[in-house]
Amino acid sequence: MNWASWGDFWAMGGYGLYVWGSYGVTALVLLLEVRSAAQRQKRAIAQIHEQQDTDL
């Protein structure tokens, strides 16, 4: 596609809200997933350390 201006690019032929909204929602979900995975990893490591401490 060829756009005459940046405004045309952002408008995406009238579908800009859907296009950029989809990108935004996807980025948000990916960030939340990364954060959630990091929290689960920290909890798992803490649980392993607790288990090792009680086994000694």
pLDDT, position 53: 87
Give the whole-angstrom CA distance, residue 50 versus residue 44: 10
Residue 22 CA neighbour count, 13 Å, CB half: 5
Instruction: Summarize pLDDT for 29-56 with one digit per residue, the tens.
Output: 999 999 999 999 999 999 999 999 887 6
**Could you give the dihedral angle defined by the CA atoms of residues 8, 10, 16 and 22, in that order, rounded to the nearest 10 degrees?**
160
Q: What pTM does this model have?
A: 0.74
pLDDT > 70: what percent of the chain? 96
Rg (CA), the chain: 22
Locate the domains of the chain by residue range.
6-55
